[in-house]
Structures are given as C-alpha cells and as structure tokens.
C-alpha cells in the first residue's frame, strides 16, 4: 500500500529525475502485476470487480468524507459549481459505481479471443490471439469516478493501470485507490494492478509521458488543454480521446421534420459531451429545414452563433454574429455555430478545416450526397440521417467505453475493452524451418 500516501500533502515538487525514478519504479510494479493479470480467468476478474463495487458501497461514508475535503478545498479555491458537481460523490453516485462495475463483470472477456487463424500450405498452424497491452497509464481531471472506471476496465482487459488524477480530487482518489487495492489483494489480484502516482504531482504526470517502454499506452481523459498537453508531449503511445467539434450538415433535400429532430437531439440531448453537435451547416437550398432546426434550438434556449445568411433565415430570432473562433469552438453547452453553405463541397471544406475528427452527420435522402459525404469526411464516425449522439460505445453495442478515440490508428471511434488490448501471433509447427 506504499503508493497510496495522502496526495493532498504534497510538499516541494519533485525534480524531473526524481519523478522519472518514481514513475519507473511504480511502472515496474505494474509490469509485474500485469504478468499475473494476463493469466487470470474471467471468473477471477469478474469476482474482483464485483467485490470492489461492494467495498465502495460498504465504505461510502469514508469516501464521502474524503470527497468533502476535496469539495471544501475546491470551494475555497473558487471552483465553479459545475466542476464541483463533477467532483462530488454521494451515496447514489457510489452505488452507480457499483452498478458500472457489475455491468463490466457481465461483459465478455476480450482476452484469449482468437482474432484470426489458419493453417498454411506448409502445415504451420497460425493463430492471432487477443492479449492485454500490459501497463496502461491514465492522466485525467477532476471526476473521481474515472479512477474506478479505469481501474475496472483495466482489470477486465487484463492490464495494470497507473493513475494520475487531478489534484482537485486528490483526497477522494487516494481513498478510492486504497479501497480498490485492498479488495483486489483480498481477491487474489496483486495490488500492483492499480496504482497511483498522484503523490508525485505534476512532475509525475510529465514523467509518465517520458516512460517509453515502462508504460505501453497513455490515455488522457479530460478537457482540451489536458488532452493536447499529453498528445503534444508524450513519447509514450497515446490514444487521443474525446475532443469533438462535431458538425451536422443539412443537404439541399433535407426533410424538414427529420432535420429539426436530428439537429435538436444532437445539440440539446446532452450538450456537455463530446458527441454533441457544435456547428450546423445548412445548404442554401435547405432554408426551410435550416430555419426549422434553428427555431427548435432557440426554443430550447440554445444560443445561435450565425453567419449573416444563417441569421437571415430566422429574422424573428435573436442571434449572435459568428466569428472565425466560433467555427473552431467546442462549446460543450447550449450554444451552436450556424453557417449557410452553397454546396456539399463547401460543407466538406468547412468540416475539413475545423473538425477534430470525431463525428459528422448528414441529413439527406440522396445516395450520391451520402457517398460523397462519407468519402470526404475524415472523422472517426459519420452519421447518415441519425443524431451524432450515437457515437458511443454503449449505443454501438461495445459495452464499456474507455473513450471516443479521434486518433487514426489502433482504435478509432468508441473504444471498448478490446481496444485496450493488442494481439500476439502464435505459430505451431512440427519442426518447420524455412527453405
């Protein structure tokens, strides 16, 4: 339990070298644990997941106490009410964590799946099997539920996790990690399976990004600043998740009712998440559908940042003139940028310029337009006549979700358990040699 010291009591910051040593030592422990994890049966992993959920509920009071410390510190530091709400854990949310862990236990084990297999003409028997990555690092912000989430997903996929949570949730995270580790050990899983480097502060986060060979994959979870910091500075492979400057394009034939419903759902259903729409592009000939969509948004108190032609479609509504910055903004709130375009090509050009590669949607019945849109958009997901809100592991049937990858390799789009694994070739012969 040596790693779960009180992370709120950071004294002087570690030097770069000290942080490197700290991270390499912890990662070595993670590596040792990962060798045990790779060999656990599904039953062993599922039992441990269920047990962790029970422990959290049984110790809800302790967690809530620690969480209260974080909340007090946050209030004293002038943290916004929204962030305080994301930081907050109560009995209901802790029970939610237990449910999530139970659901995870119910999912199939990705490890051991045979992805490809064949017998070669020379008789060699090939199989490519799914194996854990090994040591997965996570750097994330305020929300303490991410601690439980990543620990659970890591365990189910056979990976050891090394966590660096935000200092705002330090007290809560320290207690959560301690409870998780104790429960794992009681269930025959090594404590090294879940470790934190929170006691190393920011220098430890930077050291994680340098830990090539010690950490196999780094997953940043949080806002734009955090993700960009990790993507730009990490030498360890990163899966970039969750940035969504998402577009909905209404083609010239977009049916009015369908356009209105999709745009409204994409923006208003849950404005703070990464698959929510941020820009509406309206073909000049889809004025009626565009106006209807904008009116529906305004009725749900969405602020419309419009170019002049979009504003002219809804003279009865109050709109804000859009600036260049608006096209690149992920509002994450009840705001949307709206632009009128003269063609599908112009829409695609706009999307290529401003998209973060997450999700784009088109509303049209034209097969030609659908095909051109799919081919012209370089994003993880394309929605045809459907809300952008469907880019989601749960919605697409993947079960647990690690995040939505906007990266172009490994995993792209919603990442389930399988996306936290890699593969190994096993080749069986009978003394085969190459001629």
Is 42 one of the binding residues for a copy of itself (CB under 8 A)?
no
SS3 at position 138: strand
Is 81 one of the binding residues for a copy of itself (CB under 8 A)?
no
SS3 at position 12: coil
Is 242 one of the binding residues for a copy of itself (CB under 8 A)?
no
Select from 410, 415, 423 the least CA-distant residue to 399.
415
Q: Minimum distance from CB of 107 to a copy of itself (Å)?
A: 17
Q: Minimum distance from CB of 126 to a copy of itself (Å)?
A: 6
Q: Which two tokens stand for residue 211?
A: 């830990």
Task: Output the CA–CA distances (angstroms, integers) from residue 21 to 16, 195, 204, 218, in the order listed.
Answer: 9, 15, 9, 18
Segment (H or E) for 249: strand 246-250
- Which of 154, 340, 389, 399 binds a copy of itself (CB under 8 A)? It is 389
Q: Minimum distance from CB of 384 to a copy of itself (Å)?
A: 4
Cα atoms in the 13 Å half-sphere on the side-chain side of 295:
15
Is 390 one of the binding residues for a copy of itself (CB under 8 A)?
yes
Q: What are phi and psi of 80, to 5 degrees?
A: -70, 155
- Which of 231, 256, 298, 328 binds a copy of itself (CB under 8 A)? It is 231
Is 224 one of the binding residues for a copy of itself (CB under 8 A)?
no
Q: Minimum distance from CB of 235 to a copy of itself (Å)?
A: 6
Q: What are phi and psi of 241, to 5 degrees?
A: -130, 155
Is 238 one of the binding residues for a copy of itself (CB under 8 A)?
yes
Say which residues have a Cβ less than 8 Å from residue 215's Cβ, sequence separation at least 6. Answer: 23, 27, 30, 135, 136, 137, 162, 208, 236
Q: Minimum distance from CB of 130 to a copy of itself (Å)?
A: 11
Binding map of a copy of itself across residues 86-125, x = CB under 8 A, - = no contact:
--------------------------------x-x---x-
- The smaller minimum CB distance to a copy of itself, of residues 319 and 355, is found at 355
d(CA 346, CA 348): 5
- Which of 258, 285, 295, 366 binds a copy of itself (CB under 8 A)? It is 258
- The smaller minimum CB distance to a copy of itself, of residues 225 and 431, is found at 431
- The smaller minimum CB distance to a copy of itself, of residues 331 and 373, is found at 373
Is 217 one of the binding residues for a copy of itself (CB under 8 A)?
yes
Where do the H-state alpha helices sit in 188-328?
201-210, 224-233, 256-268, 287-299, 308-313, 324-327
- Which of 187, 252, 261, 295 binds a copy of itself (CB under 8 A)? It is 261
Binding map of a copy of itself across residues 312-351, x = CB under 8 A, - = no contact:
----------------------------------------
Select from 164, 148, 142 the least CA-distant residue to 219.
164
Is 35 one of the binding residues for a copy of itself (CB under 8 A)?
yes
Strands (E), 296-352: 303-306, 320-321, 335-341
For residue 238, the cross-strand partners are 218
Question: What is the contact surface with a copy of itself in residues (CB under 8 A)?
Answer: 35, 38-39, 118, 120, 124, 126, 128, 133-134, 212, 216-217, 231-235, 237-239, 255, 257-258, 261-262, 264-266, 269, 370, 374-376, 378-387, 389-391, 395-397, 407-410, 412-414, 422-434
């Amino acid at each position: 339990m040596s790693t779960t010291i009180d992370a709120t009591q950071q004294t002087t910051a570690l030097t770069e070298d000290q942080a490197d040593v700290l991270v390499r030592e912890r990662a070595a422990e993670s590596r040792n644990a990962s060798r045990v994890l790779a060999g656990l049966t599904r039953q062993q992993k599922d039992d441990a997941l269920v047990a962790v959920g029970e422990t959290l509920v049984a110790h809800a009071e302790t967690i809530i106490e620690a969480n209260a410390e974080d909340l007090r510190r946050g209030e004293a530091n002038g943290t916004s009410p929204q962030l305080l709400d994301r930081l907050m854990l109560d009995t209901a949310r802790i029970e939610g964590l237990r449910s999530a862990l139970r659901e995870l236990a119910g999912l199939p084990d990705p490890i051991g799946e045979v992805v490809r297999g064949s017998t070669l003409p020379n008789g060699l028997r090939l199989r490519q099997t799914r194996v854990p990555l090994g040591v997965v690092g996570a750097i994330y912000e305020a929300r303490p539920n991410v601690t439980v989430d990543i620990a659970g997903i890591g365990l189910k996929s056979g990976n050891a996790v090394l966590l660096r949570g935000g200092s705002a949730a330090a007290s809560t995270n320290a207690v959560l990690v301690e409870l998780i580790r104790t429960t794992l050990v009681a269930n025959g899983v090594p404590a090294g399976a879940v470790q934190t480097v929170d006691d190393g502060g920011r220098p430890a986060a930077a050291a994680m990004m340098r830990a090539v060979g010690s950490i196999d994959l780094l997953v940043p979870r949080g806002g734009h600043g955090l993700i960009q910091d990790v993507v730009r500075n990490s030498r360890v492979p990163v899966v970039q998740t969750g940035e969504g400057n998402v577009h909905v394009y209404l083609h010239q034939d977009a049916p009015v009712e369908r356009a209105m419903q999709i745009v409204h759902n994409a923006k208003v259903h849950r404005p703070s998440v990464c698959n929510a729409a941020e820009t509406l592009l309206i073909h000049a000939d889809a004025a009626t559908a565009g106006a209807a969509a904008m009116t529906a948004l305004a009725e749900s108190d969405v602020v419309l940042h419009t170019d002049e032609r979009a504003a002219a479609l809804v003279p009865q509504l109050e709109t804000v003139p859009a600036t260049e910055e608006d096209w690149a903004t992920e509002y994450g709130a009840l705001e949307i940028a709206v632009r009128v375009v003269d063609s599908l090509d112009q829409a695609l050009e706009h999307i290529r310029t401003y998209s973060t590669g997450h999700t784009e949607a088109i509303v049209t019945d034209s097969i030609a337009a659908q095909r051109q849109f799919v081919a012209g958009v370089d994003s993880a997901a394309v929605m045809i006549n459907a809300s952008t809100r469907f880019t989601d592991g749960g919605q697409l049937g993947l079960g647990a979700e690690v995040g939505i990858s906007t990266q172009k390799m490994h995993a792209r789009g919603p990442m389930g358990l399988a996306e936290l694994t890699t593969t190994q070739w096993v080749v069986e012969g009978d003394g085969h040699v190459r001629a």
